[in-house]
Amino acid sequence: MTDRALADTGPAFLVDFTFYLDVLILEHLLHYAGSSNLEVALVFGVYTLAYAVLAPLLGRASDRGGRRRSLLVGALIFALVPALLALNLDLAPGAEGVVVRARALALAPAAYLGIATLALANGLFWPALQARIGDRAAGPAERARRIRRFNVAWTCGKASGVLVAAAWLVRAPSTCLPAAALLGGLVWLLLWRDGQADTGAGPAPSAPATVEPPVEERPQHAKRPFLVAGLVANFAVWAAVSTFVSLAPKIGEHYGLGPLLEGVVLGACLGAQGLAFLALGAARRWAYRWPLLLASCPLAALGLAAVVWADRCGPTAALCVLGAVCVGAAQAVTYAASVFYSLDYDERRGMRTGVHEATLALGGALPLLGGFLADATGDVRSALLLGLGVCAAASLGVALARVR
């Protein structure tokens, strides 16, 4: 892999590893403190609501002020937030998880303030990084290769973060947040080393010539139904994935999964997503083709159904893993489609990727309603059923976009 490829994939891996380590740590700390389903879901919910507003605005700002500036400021915030949380929260092993002692700001306000600040960091980072990938690509075929590497990188980072977070927190709680701060600092150093001018569109001078057959070019009006369908499907399937992440401690408790098995279920979702990204291959194999996009939301709904009835129909852990795999594979299709369609324009890539990220964020806010339903019914599976219904409705929306 070239240095230019590592300039995209290295930060993508480290940022998502760090971010989801932070998210799962804060969710589990609130869970151990006796918080409700809604209070735990608020961690990811506060983030997604803030991110939905910030991502399009900051993506557009990267079109005007430069990608590198946005990336460096975002990485700096990724380092500062866990460092400040580590200074405020004294974490120690306890009989039933982790004992938290807040030095200045109480746990819940500190968690929500910290995660909202991370939304600012993500809003600066992700639209700018994705737009830079589009800027540096020589054409659609190379753009597809870069997107594929990028998707695999952030998926591996996210999978690693959710896989180790719960077990790491229980075994060595005082080291988690300082480690996340150090990783944020490493991201900043990697981005600082990459000094290529980044404000203009077009590939890097050293970009290799593409040898793949060209992607089928379509007029702008013919691309719009695919973009709309990709955004709708991505919203719904990301809501399903976010339900797993937002309510991971509560879902694990309901099904009797310990910290390790809980991490395995989340890791299976992200592992399937990464493998599916690889299987999608180059853009010529799937771009502007309907079958995969049409199948994605029903597949996610099937996966959620497997988890909902896991404790009634067979080996609970195995069915949870199987359901997570289905959701992860569906997410790969919808995310790859949404980001490719967003970048397959010559102008305002920062704004378009910001809209893509904001759509994800709105889907990620759905577990707030799921957490409310889980508290009202006393059953965390209510949140999973909500996600199932959203995926079913999105299946119809994608089909209608194709008809139009």
- The per-residue pLDDT for range 346-379, each reduced to its tens digit, is 566 677 777 888 888 888 888 889 989 999 999 9
pLDDT > 80? residue 136? no
Residues in the chain, total? 404
CB-based contact 305:361 (threshold 8 Å)? no
Q: Residue 98 belongs to what H/E stretch?
A: strand 97-102
- The per-residue pLDDT for range 45-99, each reduced to its tens digit, is 899 889 888 988 888 888 888 888 999 999 999 999 999 999 999 998 877 778 8
Q: What is the DSSP letter of 66?
A: -
Q: Cα–Cα distance between 189 and 195 in angstroms, integer?
A: 11
pLDDT at residue 147 in the model: 80
Q: Tell me the domain boundaries of the chain.
A: 3-196+219-403
CB-based contact 394:232 (threshold 8 Å)? yes
Q: Cα–Cα distance between 57 and 156 in angstroms, integer?
A: 27
Provide mean pLDDT across the span 114-122. 95
pLDDT > 90? residue 21? yes
Q: Which residue has the higher pLDDT, 383 or 194?
A: 383
- The per-residue pLDDT for range 226-248, each reduced to its tens digit, is 888 888 999 999 999 989 888 88
Specify the pTM: 0.76
- The per-residue pLDDT for range 167-178, each reduced to its tens digit, is 888 888 999 999
- % of residues, the chain, pLDDT over 90: 38
The token pair at 165 is 């977070």
- The per-residue pLDDT for range 244-293, each reduced to its tens digit, is 888 888 888 888 887 778 888 888 898 898 888 888 765 456 667 788 88
- % of residues, the chain, pLDDT over 70: 88
- What number does CATH give the domain 3-196+219-403? 1.20.1250.20
N- to C-terminal Cα separation, the chain: 41
pLDDT > 50? residue 199? no
Q: What are the beta bridge partners of residue 100?
A: 91
Unique residue bearing structure tokens 């970009």: 207
pLDDT > 90? residue 120? yes
The token pair at 193 is 């080393």
Q: Cα–Cα distance between 223 and 110 in angstroms, integer?
A: 43
